[in-house]
Amino acid sequence: MVHIEESLQVPRDFEGFGEEGFDPQWPNGARIAVSFVLNYEEGGERSVLDGDAHSEPYLWEKGASGGYKEGARYLNAEHDFEYGSRTASWRIMRLFKEFGWNFTTYAVAVALQKNPKFAKALVREGHEIAAHGLRWKDTWDYTLEEDKEYIKKAILLLKEVSGEMPVGAYFGRGTPQTHMLFPEVWKSVGAEFLWSSECYNDDVPYWIDMPQEKDLPDSEKKGMLLIPYNYDCNDGKFHMSPGFGSSVAETYEQYLKNTFDCLYREGGKLMNIPLHTRIIGKPGRSEALRKFMQYVADKPGVWVTTRREIAKHMHAKFPYKPNGAWMEEVGN
């Protein structure tokens, strides 16, 4: 049963920034911020060897037809995930080094623990490591205390493996209040929390008031910065229906270009490109990604950056003020 902590629920917002919109005023007058996000999950997925009932049936090459074997290993699935860590992770690393760009890694802690050389390489090359849970599993039924402990274990393990404490998070498979617990848990281990991406409802970052701070004096409220994520540009759609089509990487490439063109023309927007090592790291798809990256590289006024840098920009340029008062700085 899904656990819901009523005191930590955030109301829905159907108005957002309205007709006027919000311009984040990206550094150096950039028209658009582009955030590549690498979901690193290989080794943290369901596995009989890790005590689960079956191998992972979700988001691997056979898609909906993959299935699983109850109570037994399914090597077909296991090896597709292993391809992501053994081969594709390094292919993606080389690709971004070619362009001199950095990405944010949504890192499942146990997964990164099983590939420590890759963890160290991420930090060495300047890529951001963000928290993506302890394991790549749903935790919908966790109690409040179990939720907190799960978050804590994840971030401490990421620090141990990589040497870097994450400053942001996207779990995606937590309880309805997991994301509201992030600042509290980070604070409990003496670490700084800058951003969450547990939202999909805009093309720009924004601040929200945290329900657990409602009775504090305004001077003590911290709020939470949300950097929206998306599903529509997600390479996971190669294995979802409706999706890009596993054998037609050009469909994916064109969709990314269309998205970029729209947001670039509008200006002041954020584009997310969610990636998975075992998906985009296959040769035929990585070439489509490379063509899109070249397309972006040829455009002026593009800020390819990490979510950590986006958060730092927002904290400096548009610091949080309660009840939407931070927007007064931009006249909205």
**CATH number (domain holding residue 175):** 3.20.20.370
Global model pTM greater than 0.85: yes
Position 3 in a domain = no
Helix and strand numbers, DSSP H then E, in the chain: 10, 9
Position 17 in a domain = no
Position 132 in a domain = yes
pLDDT for position 247: 61
Q: What residue ranges in the chain does DSSP mark as E strands?
A: 32-40, 104-107, 128-131, 168-169, 195-196, 206-208, 224-226, 269-276, 302-304
Domain ranges, residue 272: 22-330
Judge contact between 132 and 170, C-beta under 8 A.
yes
Q: Which residues have C-beta within 8 Å of that of residue 104, sequence separation ≥ 6? A: 35, 36, 37, 38, 127, 128, 130, 168, 306, 307, 308
Residues 284 and 313: their CA atoms lie apart, in Å, by 35
Position 204 in a domain = yes
Q: What sign has the CA pseudo-torsion 317, 323, 327, 328? A: negative
What's the total number of domains in the chain?
Answer: 1
236-258: per-residue pLDDT in tens? Answer: 999 887 777 666 688 999 999 99
The SS3 call for residue 303 is strand
CA 260 to chain centre: 18
Judge contact between 72 and 48, C-beta under 8 A.
yes
pLDDT for position 331: 47
268-290: per-residue pLDDT in tens? Answer: 999 999 999 999 999 999 999 99
Both structure tokens of 224: 């939470």
The SS3 call for residue 277 is helix
119-148: per-residue pLDDT in tens? Answer: 999 999 999 999 999 999 999 999 999 999
pLDDT for position 63: 74
Mean local confidence (pLDDT), 201-224: 96
15-38: per-residue pLDDT in tens? Answer: 999 999 999 999 999 999 999 999
Which residues on adjacent β-strands are paired with residue 225?
207
Position 14 in a domain = no
Both structure tokens of 167: 């400053």
Residues 100 and 316: their CA atoms lie apart, in Å, by 25
Position 8 in a domain = no
Position 4 in a domain = no
Angle formed by the axes of helices 249-266 and 283-297, nearest 10°: 20
* Model confidence at 196: pLDDT above 80: yes
Position 55 in a domain = yes
pLDDT for position 240: 83
The number of C-alpha atoms within 13 Å of 94 and in the hemisphere containing its C-beta is 9
| Identity of the residue numbered 119 | A
The percentage of the chain sitting over the pLDDT mark of 90, rounded to a whole number, equals: 87
Mean local confidence (pLDDT), 151-168: 98
